[in-house]
Amino acid sequence: MKIFRAVLIWVAVWLSAAIPAAPAAEFEFAILGDRTGNAVPGIYEKVCREIASRRPALIVNVGDTIEGMQDETAEQEWTDIQPVWRAFGDIPFYLVPGNHDIWSPSSEKVWRARTGRDSAYSFDFRGAHFTILDNSRTEGLAADQMAFLKSDLSAHAAARPKFIFFHRPFWLLNVKFANANFPLQQLAREYQAGFVVNGHLHAFDRSELQGVQYLVVGSSGGSLMHGNATGPNPKLEGSYFGYAWARVKGEAATVEFCRLPE
């Protein structure tokens, strides 16, 4: 009897490993860009209304929701922006921490209270997997964030497609110069995470390295000047207000950039 049970257990384990995870169901979702720094009045509200009118299955942002940087005003800033999201109705909305959202231990506590999430978390949606990381206070991904990413991707190795979100695109030079020798790229390739999605630059940009798409979602309200005193940076072709729209079908996904009508 013990041998028979052992054989049954072995067969069950073998079958669970041999049968691939079901591909993601077909759905569409929106990616909301930075609202700050230096939010331009009315733009974020227009982008949110346009996204809501298209009825995506979910919405993910790329950080920088409040202007922040002052502990004493953080609570009120979150209170002030939340009515804008009523346009989303019952559409699930997931936030990524940006450097204007978390800059201190106190602001991190406010973030957790207002979003109901840790600053790093993950979730599944209709077969697709999303990992949210926090580099709000570091340019790159700190050791704890990389450890979280590896553990999360390993635990969801069979999920397709996979999306990795965090705010600052520290990978930019490596990817633009086709240097694949950095830990994020190596993990993304190992676990077949097809998309890395960021914000911070207030300009839209897309690159690909060894099958991994690296996307920077531009401004959904934050100033297009972004440190350039004379206006939108002419070197950044993606300097316009908008958002991104993703389409998931089975194990594949595509992402397009959508410009806000002027």
What is the strand order of the sheet 58-61 is part of?
93-94, 58-61, 24-32, 242-250, 252-259
Q: Do the domain assignments include residue 215?
A: yes
Q: Do the domain assignments include residue 12?
A: no
At 169 the pLDDT is: 98
Closest CA to 202 of 98, 78, 115: 98
What is the span of the domain harbouring residue 131? 23-259
pTM: 0.90
CATH number at residue 165: 3.60.21.10
Q: Is the pLDDT of residue 12 over 60?
A: no
Q: Do the domain assignments include residue 17?
A: no
Q: Do the domain assignments include residue 8?
A: no
Question: How many separate domains does the chain show?
Answer: 1
Q: Do the domain assignments include residue 78?
A: yes
Structure confidence by residue, pLDDT tens digits, 115-168: 999 999 999 999 999 999 999 999 999 999 999 999 999 999 999 999 999 999
Q: Do the domain assignments include residue 6?
A: no
- Positive or negative CA dihedral for 4, 10, 11, 13? positive
Q: Is the pLDDT of residue 214 over 80?
A: yes
Max avg pLDDT among 18-27, 61-70, 228-237:
61-70
Q: Which residues contact 250 (CB under 8 A, 6 or more apart)?
A: 23, 24, 26, 160
Q: Do the domain assignments include residue 13?
A: no
Q: Compare 150 and 233 and report the one with higher pLDDT.
A: 150
> How many DSSP H helices and E strands does the chain contain?
7, 11
At 19 the pLDDT is: 44
At 230 the pLDDT is: 60
Q: Do the domain assignments include residue 116?
A: yes
- Helices of type H across 39-117: 43-54, 74-81, 105-115
DSSP 8-state class, residue 181: -
